[in-house]
């Protein structure tokens, strides 16, 4: 008599425990997928900032100290591109023409209709701004411009995504 009551209770208890284990593993997998998705969005935005900072350096000689100065240069500045036309003879430069092009930096680096102001904000919510720093470090007795952009509120608490470095002339991201 006791076994007839006890066996269904054990089966039910096993089913509940099995479901709880399955649910906890499923939640961990969903969280890991969500972290990966958000990290990919942040990395894509940091790559855009990296491209903009390197273009700003080409235009001005240093990196942008603020997002506002970066946006101002991209809206009002021109990106200079040197184009060579013709063949270069081994003996003379007479067949070679050099042309200087002045291009819209937004169109040149990001495409028509790109909203440059969006790169300052951390995805996916686009409410918090990235932390931007720039300056110079001395490398072999030469002052080298540097910048660093950091996610101030990383979704992944184990890793803060950033591009550049204020201690060394490194312009790549830490996600590689």
Is residue 122 included in any domain, yes or no? yes
8-state DSSP, 173: B
- Whole-number pLDDT of residue 86: 73
Q: Is residue 94 part of a domain?
A: no
Rounded Cα gap, residues 135 and 125, in angstroms: 29
Q: Is residue 57 in some structural domain?
A: yes
**Domain extent for 143:** 2-75+113-164
Residues forming a β-bridge with 173 = 163
**8 Å CB contact between 132 and 164:** no
Examine residue 14 and state whether it is found in any structural domain, yes or no. yes
Residue 72 pLDDT: 96
Does residue 90 form part of some domain?
Answer: no
- What are the pLDDT tens digits along the chain (176 aa)? 667 788 888 888 888 888 888 888 888 899 999 999 999 999 999 999 999 999 999 999 999 999 999 999 999 999 999 887 776 655 565 667 888 899 999 999 999 999 999 999 999 988 999 999 999 999 999 999 999 999 999 998 889 999 999 999 999 999 97
pTM of the model: 0.83
Tell me whether residue 85 is in a domain. Answer: no
Give me the pLDDT at residue 24, please: 81
Cα–Cα distance measured from residue 32 to residue 83, given in angstroms and rounded to the nearest whole number: 47
12 within some domain: yes
pLDDT for residue 110:
95
The SS3 assignment for 140 reads coil
- Total domains in the chain come to 1
Mark 130-155 as b/e (b = at least 16 C-beta within 10 Å): bebebeeeeeeeeeebbbbbbbeebb
Asked if residue 21 is part of any domain, the answer here is: yes
């Amino acid at each position: 008599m006791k076994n007839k009551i006890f066996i269904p209770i054990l089966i039910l208890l096993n089913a509940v425990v099995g479901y709880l284990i399955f649910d906890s593993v499923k939640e961990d997998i969903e969280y890991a997928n969500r972290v990966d998705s958000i990290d990919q969005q942040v990395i894509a935005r940091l790559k855009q900032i990296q491209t903009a900072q390197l273009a700003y350096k080409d235009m001005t000689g240093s990196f942008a100290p603020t997002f506002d100065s970066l946006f101002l240069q991209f809206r009002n500045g021109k990106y200079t591109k040197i184009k060579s036309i013709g063949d270069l003879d081994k003996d003379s430069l007479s067949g070679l023409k050099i042309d200087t092009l002045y291009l819209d930096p937004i169109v040149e680096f990001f495409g028509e209709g790109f909203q440059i102001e969006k790169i300052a904000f951390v995805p996916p919510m686009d409410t918090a701004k990235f932390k931007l720093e720039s300056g110079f470090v001395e490398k072999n007795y030469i002052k080298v411009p540097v910048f660093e952009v950091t996610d101030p509120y990383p979704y992944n608490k184990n890793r803060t995504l950033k591009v550049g470095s204020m201690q060394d002339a490194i312009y790549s991201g830490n996600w590689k």
